[in-house]
Chain A
């Protein structure tokens, strides 16, 4: 028995020694006397490595000069973890979250306003495309700055369209340019559809729920609006919004609910070679600029139709687009004359949570990311446009996405819409998704579903306002009296 115990003890000691000798080492050596800025970010994999390059660049230049060392930490569910760390009073110095998180945090006074620091660094509203500056602010204060932005547009399978060029021409459609209106998009979709003998969808033309990430914003393409932050009003059941959801419902009505369910069951998830657009089983999708990277990584042949990609990079921009089996253009709206270049704009943002240990140093890094050369390098690697007003020709010419100019144009458009800027954005978003489900699965007419949605949104918002009023009363009438911790 003693021998067994001794053997176990020796084995444990040997394992410990092995871990000490060959185990993991700290990734970075912080130079003595440097302030360490903790930066939590959502990206892992390639995107994470690319951001790490930017962090290294900072550490070797501005950081070295100002004695700041940024420690990049890739974190899953970064929003939840920032939330709990903030609640515990130990938030990171920089949180790399999604734009949708900004108002929820800012409205609860959990973020540091950046106005003064931004001004001191020469960062102003004019530095940005209006939509991106707007999404970084809440009630007139600047609470974040963009790291990587995006606009969404129609991505279509050019090769499939050109194969059907004659059929397109017979219908009076031009197969060499993207559809110009929603009506034209529907006709394209019908032409591109391929059904099997049982009525199953072999290739879809367009499906509002493929992938459906932006389906709740469809009203923008019909001249609708969802919410007015100034008035605090919702417009879910106004005629433009209802028409947009009627358009969404026209797809399951035409194709059949069973056929749609069957199609989506067999479809691979996004980011896999089996996802419908990449596999060629859905000819048109509403997607962001990152599709350029996904197409290249998951279906390289689609980016080398004529010449190898390495050669293509030396071609003029217009010529480059011929080398791709896919193309991108602004998603057509209901009325292209009145509503050109409609898009939904979103962004990954950098914020400083209240309670952060080194806010000034954190902002040094955020300001570094806003430099034109840094911003263009980062967004070129992430295959996204730039949020800055000023963009170099080189950025457009050498960008891995040959359609980046389309995204740049949409980002500058007056019809670029950001996320609903409501402190209850997540809750309202969930209600919108329920309405979409009810409409797409044909359980309710758009008018019914949207009337109910409007009612739910108003009820929730009134409840939120009542709570805010109560909070304001407590805080102003008797500071500390009813307040804990």
Chain B
């Protein structure tokens, strides 16, 4: 390395140092510490006689407890159920909306803006609005259902309807995904559609044989993001149902949060976080493995 190159390296590192320091101090170090604490009994505030914060090594006890804790199974089941409902619904709705918004119609920009707008609303505000929409007596859904003579359910107040209600609400924020799909759709070469048309392919055939295969890398990206997002769901159920009724919407991340900050079991919560990471990694790896069969890249 020449002197000039060394100087350039130092200059470069100096410029990235704020990010680098931030990453090391506020991401890498906490991640490393959480791995260590997952093997400890650690409550955040426990102090020894000398007044020092104390974490006691318990080996794999926290991980063994994970296997014995019925709440882990309940929250994993709830989170899985939510992902099973919200993930496919979100993908289908966002692809459908993107296809519609891609059609050359008058007022296209206005429709795109309208679809995107809800995703700009803060989560807490949306949750409050949806709580009213789901209100058993005064909510818009039940009022509309009553017009056609149907007595609507209690939605988030009913243990059987609460989870589907949350999945339904998750569709409110598909705007971001729709925008990504739109970009992907506009990237599909026109000549492929022209060739398909010449071969006699109708709109449905074109959708399945041209659009979706060409969009598959974008679908794959959104699938990965959706897996991560749905398996970490927290804010909306926490605000709207608090995990109820009867813990029917008690999600894994809420249990993790409460273990750490309410029950003061930071070591156990750290173990939970690592288990969650492993689960998400496993599903992501599965998606990557299957992607060889259904994701088509233009350049290959």
Contacts and interface: CB of A to CB of B under 8 A. Distances in A.
Interface of A: 80, 83-84, 86-87, 89, 104-105, 108-110, 258, 261-262, 264-266, 354-355, 424, 426-427, 430, 434, 437-438, 441, 443, 463, 467, 470-471, 474-475, 479, 482-485
A434 B258 CA distance: 15
A80 B49 CA distance: 23
Interface in B9-62: 40-41, 43-49, 51-58
Contacts of B246: 434, 437-438, 441, 443
Contacts, number: 99
B76 to A, nearest CB: 17
A186 B239 CA distance: 34
B56 A474 contact: yes
A12 to B, nearest CB: 21
Interface string B239-263: 0000011110000000000100111
Given A83-B45, A471-B56, A261 B136 contact: yes
**In the A-B complex, the 8 residue pairs with the closest CB atoms:** A265-B136, A110-B45, A87-B44, A108-B46, A266-B137, A265-B137, A109-B47, A261-B154
A89 B258 CA distance: 22
B159 A470 contact: no
A268 to B, nearest CB: 11
Given A354-B47, A483-B54, A427 B263 contact: yes
A266 B138 contact: yes
Given A262-B137, A265-B135, A84 B157 contact: no
A89 B47 CA distance: 11
Given A266-B138, A467-B41, A441 B264 contact: no
Contact of B57 (A264, A265, A482, A485): A482
B261 A80 contact: yes
B279 to A, nearest CB: 23
Given A108-B264, A261-B157, A437-B244, A87 B41 contact: no
Nearest to A261: B154
17 contacts: A80-B261, A87-B44, A104-B264, A108-B43, A109-B47, A110-B45, A261-B157, A354-B47, A355-B51, A430-B258, A434-B247, A437-B247, A470-B41, A471-B46, A475-B56, A484-B40, A485-B53
B194 interface: no
A266 B40 CA distance: 47
A48 B65 CA distance: 43
B65 A463 contact: yes
Nearest to A467: B41
A110 B45 CA distance: 6
A438 B52 CA distance: 42
A485 B55 contact: yes
Contact of B261 (A83, A430, A434, A484): A83
Nearest to A472: B56
A449 to B, nearest CB: 10
B263 A265 contact: no
B46 A109 contact: yes
B44 A86 contact: yes
B48 A483 contact: yes
A98 B41 CA distance: 25
A438 B247 CA distance: 10
Contact of B41 (A105, A258, A471): A471
Contact of A475 (B43, B48, B137, B261): B48
Contacts of A426: 262-263
Contacts of A354: 47, 51
A385 B272 CA distance: 44
B38 to A, nearest CB: 14
B53 A87 contact: yes
B47 A110 contact: yes
Contacts of B52: 483, 485
B33 to A, nearest CB: 10
Contacts of B51: 354-355
Contacts of B43: 108
